[in-house]
Amino acid sequence: MEEKEVFYNGFCRAQNQGRMVACVYVKEGEAWRVDEADCAYEKCPNREACEIARQIRAGEREAGWK
C-alpha cells in the first residue's frame, strides 16, 4: 500500500490560531484517501469554511502528485 504524508498550514477557527496539520494519505486503486489527519477536520463545525480542510480534500483529489 502506497502512502504519503503531507503538511498543511492555515488558520484554525476552532482553536483560533494558526496550525500546521500532518495528513497521511493512502492509495486505494487509483484514488487517494485520508488515513490520518492531525486535526478533527471531519467533525469540525467549521469544516466547510476551513482552509486546512479545503487543502486536505484537495489532496484526496490529486492523483500522483509528488
Q: What is the pTM of this model?
A: 0.81
Cell of 43: 467533525
> What are the residue ranges spanned by the domains of the chain?
3-61
pLDDT > 60? residue 64: no
pLDDT > 80? residue 66: no
Question: Can you tell me which residue has the cell 467549521?
Answer: 46
pLDDT grade, residue 19 (50/70/90)? very high
Q: What does 4-61 look like in DSSP terms, one character per residue?
A: EEEEEEEEETTTTEEEEEEEEEEEETTEEEEEEESS-TTT-TTGGG-HHHHHHHHHHH
pLDDT grade, residue 7 (50/70/90)? very high
